[in-house]
Amino acid sequence: MRLSRHFLPVMKESPADAQIVSHKLMLRAGLIRQTAAGIYSWLPLGHRVLRKIEQIVREEQDRAGAIEMLMPTIQSADLWRESGRYDAYGPEMLRIKDRHDREMLFGPTNEEMITAIFRDNTRSYRDLPRILYHIQWKFRDEVRPRFGVMRGREFLMKDAYSFDLDAEGARRSYAMMFIAYLRTFTRLGLNAIPMRADTGPIGGDLSHEFIVLADTGESEVFVEQAVLDRSSINDLTGWEFSDDLGEREMAFYREHYAATDEKRDLHREQELGDQVVQRRGIEVGHIFYFGAKYSAAMGMSVQGPDGSPVVPQMGSYGIGVSRLMGAIIEASHDDAGIIWPDAVAPYHVGLINMRADDARCAGAADDLYARLEAAGVETLYDDRDERGGAKFATMDLIGLPWQIVIGPKGLDKGVVEVKRRATGEKVELSIEDAIAKVAGE
Amino acid sequence: MRLSRHFLPVMKESPADAQIVSHKLMLRAGLIRQTAAGIYSWLPLGHRVLRKIEQIVREEQDRAGAIEMLMPTIQSADLWRESGRYDAYGPEMLRIKDRHDREMLFGPTNEEMITAIFRDNTRSYRDLPRILYHIQWKFRDEVRPRFGVMRGREFLMKDAYSFDLDAEGARRSYAMMFIAYLRTFTRLGLNAIPMRADTGPIGGDLSHEFIVLADTGESEVFVEQAVLDRSSINDLTGWEFSDDLGEREMAFYREHYAATDEKRDLHREQELGDQVVQRRGIEVGHIFYFGAKYSAAMGMSVQGPDGSPVVPQMGSYGIGVSRLMGAIIEASHDDAGIIWPDAVAPYHVGLINMRADDARCAGAADDLYARLEAAGVETLYDDRDERGGAKFATMDLIGLPWQIVIGPKGLDKGVVEVKRRATGEKVELSIEDAIAKVAGE
């Protein structure tokens, strides 16, 4: 993409109302713009990152055997009366009346709707187990929306729902999602730690939050050193699913200590002494096992193998897809701007022509751009007639993994400069070697 | 995907409230379920088709140089007061009050929002021309939602917005979108004809509706034979954009007659005599040029090349992405069910094992399934222990382009049966040849 034809409005200064670093950088780097309190438009660069995060989340759900579908944003209040949550949910639910004065709402979550769909379209034990998920916009009417997409009102969530015949099966589904979550966050370049959590308004017996570590995170967490070591060395992306993989991982996190501020065990911390370290973190996922809470309330049952009715056991599994973008930036930035992990970077390479007014430089840059595109390397090409300094600052701000700089002095020597954004390391390479370097890593 | 692990609830009979064939078939084939009046959930099979339609729409927008972004569903009423449309829009706008009693709405379209974003983030003539688009859920509170996704309340729309420095540039953008639309519908396997249209509540000077021909379409259209001939022979997908391509195509449709019921020219029809034929059609796209209507009302201007302010000329360009699924089915079905065009079929091949209880058949089917998947052929594998007749009926109903049937008699001869859904043509082929046939076409 040529920057001269793009829509990438960057800002030198961040607006005064942006308090945290991810919010500041998302505004400055032209990823988002606020269109109402806690409601954002995703500008082209931000949209690309959002789609990449979404795709990784999707691939790991699919790999775990979950089936994608899509439920609407607007729901009927009657559906929520079936579970008893309509009155209980409180003012965070955006309640709506349509032109016929029917009570509707903008879904904050979908337990009721998926339970109704599954109830009305399954009959037999053979229809289970199943995990269904969707990636859809949700709305929670936060009283004080802030911190950009970290605590917005309209946000993109992946929510999955499992249906099993018995508690043992439900636990297997839960463990499968547990692994899928660890894998998802690892692929996103994040260090995410599962921590036991309260079940809150979802209800249920077993629940984990997944907390991304970031120095600028929203909340304090207390973690045993062994957990930090494990999560930073874990490469889960190569693991095959097996029956005991989930139980083994869950057992590790049960045996070792990691707790949010609300769930601290001071006695245990005292025992562990200086093995427990304090960190800051951001919640990016939450999973729940809640048994028959919704299936029983909403009258769902299937015919069991022996002909008698069985009430399915359920769980639900959420990932804040739009929130993840903020979390990734909190975890990966420096004073100059964002440092995108390769997997979610909006483009892989930023190509800078230092002298757009110089025919030789422009020709060489056009040619290199065409070759990078032909090699399948997603490239943002700064072909504008601007000062070199401003171009460097923009590239550092938007944080693409690689930068390639073409200038007259380098061309005299037959080289371009290749910079790795994360380390700042710069090397001069021939055009051939530059392409190989950015394409190969 | 194995059907035994899928979520594909098909129905023998269609519900009484489904009046048109696409609505009936979408319910019967397990593509959608209604969750409130005019609001649908997209079950896994329907979701796959929706994503494929969306992707073709996206690719053709990108090819035309439009830049994707994403605006939120919930908008502030104040934004619409800037253009004067908040009070004018009428009861189809879903109006909402948040917990602080602020007036909001679920966006039925985005002219105001994109104008505000572009206004607040551009300064110079160098920032133009641009075409920005997004694919997002919209809500229009139809008084009597019906016909399934054809006239639903929550629907997926692609809406693009062009910004140009002058009327000539705006016309170029319009012509570019005109071509992108013809190309999009051709790729979707549809015969879509552009017809002059009123601009309605969007306002403006120039407008076309794109009408898909289907015998069961919602409205009558009147078309010169030459237009039918052209649209059915046009293969636009190979065309490169050029400055005169759009003007040339627009000129053809200006010179020849094609009109919706509301825009008939009886005098012209009399002149053309039996060259005009009556057909039925479905509106799937609508494009508008409306000049400075929103940019002037909302105070947008950029600095022109000579330093004086220029008020951008705008157009907007909509495609009903979810509605297209209904239109495709209206245009392509038979008594047995849907006949998906290859480009949007949820899977390319349906593999039927006639005898799931026979180890030899199951082994051969498992093996063929693995080979099709390895060859990148999207396959739905009916591995369930059901009668052959029920499996055939389901496959015909869901309308995948190819069916491969494995049974004991064929295996004795070393063959499987390959059926093309659209024609009903069946051939017996070796496993090798069957894979080559379905993969090659």
Q: Who wins on pLDDT, B242 or B416? A: B416
How much is the pLDDT for B201? 62
The nearest CA of chain B is from the CA of A396 a distance in Å of 20
Q: In the predicted model, what is the mean pLDDT of residues A3-23?
A: 93
Distance in angstroms (rounded) separating the CA atoms of residues A329 and A324: 9
SS3 label, residue B17: coil
Residues of A in contact with B44 (CB under 8 A): 67-69, 132
Give the three-class secondary structure for B308: coil
DSSP type of residue B146:
B
Residue B48 is predicted with a pLDDT of 98
pLDDT-derived band of residue B337, with 50, 70 and 90 as boundaries?
Answer: very high
Nearest to A36 among B7, B74, B141 (CB): B74
Question: What is the per-residue pLDDT for A202?
Answer: 59
For the record, the structure tokens of B322 come out as 């979810």
Q: Is A203 left (phi over 0), alpha (psi -120 to 50) or beta?
A: left
Q: What is the pLDDT of residues B397-429, one digit of tens each?
A: 999 999 999 999 999 999 999 999 999 999 999
Instruction: Say what percent of chain B tops pLDDT 70.
Output: 96
DSSP category for residue B127: G
Cβ atoms of B132 and B110 within 8 Å: the answer is no
Q: Strand A349-353 relative to strand B39-42: parallel, antiparallel, unpaired?
A: unpaired
Using one digit for the tens of pLDDT, what is the confidence trace for A24-63?
Answer: 999 999 999 999 999 999 999 999 999 999 999 999 999 9
Rounded-to-5 percentages of helix, strand, coil across chain A: 40, 30, 30
Q: Apex CA B51: angle with CA B50 and CA B57, to 5°?
A: 90
Rounded Cα gap, residues A326 and A338, in angstroms: 11
Domain with CATH 3.30.930.10 in chain B: 9-338
Mean of pLDDT over chain B: 94
Find the range with the poorest average confidence among A42-46, B14-18, B96-100.
B14-18
pLDDT band for B441, please (50, 70, 90 cuts).
low
Architecture category of domain B9-338 in CATH: 2-Layer Sandwich (3.30)
Q: What is the pLDDT of residue A244?
A: 84
Whole-angstrom distance, CA of residue B32 vs CA of residue B37: 13
Confidence at residue A98, expressed as pLDDT on a 0 to 100 scale: 97
User: Does the distance separating the beta carbons of A69 and B47 come in below 8 Å?
Assistant: yes
CATH code given to domain B349-440? 3.40.50.800
CB contact under 8 A, B35 and A5: no
pLDDT, tens digit (0-9, with 9 covering 90-100), for A169-204: 999 999 999 999 999 999 999 999 999 887 666 566
How far apart CA A413 and CA A306 sit, in angstroms, is: 80
Neighbours of B240 (CB within 10 A): 6
Nearest to B50, CA basis, from B322, B362, B357? B322
**Residue in B closest to A28 by C-alpha:** B121
What pLDDT is recorded for position B217?
Answer: 87
Contact A41 B120 (CB under 8 A): no
Contact A121 B9 (CB under 8 A): yes
Predicted complex ipTM: 0.96
Beta bridge mates, B368: none
The H or E element containing residue A334 is: strand A333-334
Q: From the candidates A69, A93, A156, which should be mutated to test the interface with B, based on the most B CB atoms within 10 A?
A: A69
Contact A132 B65 (CB under 8 A): no
Residues B38 and B147: their CA atoms lie apart, in Å, by 9
**Alpha-carbon distance A201 to A317, whole Å?**
14
Q: For residue A123, with 0-12 CB atoms within 10 Å meaning exposed, 13-18 middle and 19 or more buried, which class applies?
A: exposed
How many helices and strands (H and E) does chain B possess? Answer: 15, 23
CA distance B353 to chain A (A): 18
**Cross-chain Cβ contact B9/A91 below 8 Å:** no
pLDDT of A234 > 70? The answer is: no
pLDDT at A204: 64
Dihedral sign, CA of A15, A49, A347, A327? positive
Q: Does the pLDDT at position B234 exceed 70?
A: no
- Give the residue among A381, A349, A372, A380 at the shortest CA–CA distance from A432: A372
Across the A/B interface, how many CB contacts are shorter than 8 Å? 155
Instruction: Choose among B403, B431, B408, B434: nearest CA to B419.
Output: B403
**pLDDT at residue A216, as a whole number:** 83
Distance (Å, rounded) from C-alpha B177 to C-alpha B162?
A: 9
Sequence-separated (6 or more) residues with CB below 8 Å from residue A403: A349, A350, A351, A352, A395, A417, A418, A419, A421
Do B72 and A43 lie within an 8 Å CB cutoff?
A: no
Tokens of residue A219, six digits: 């909340």
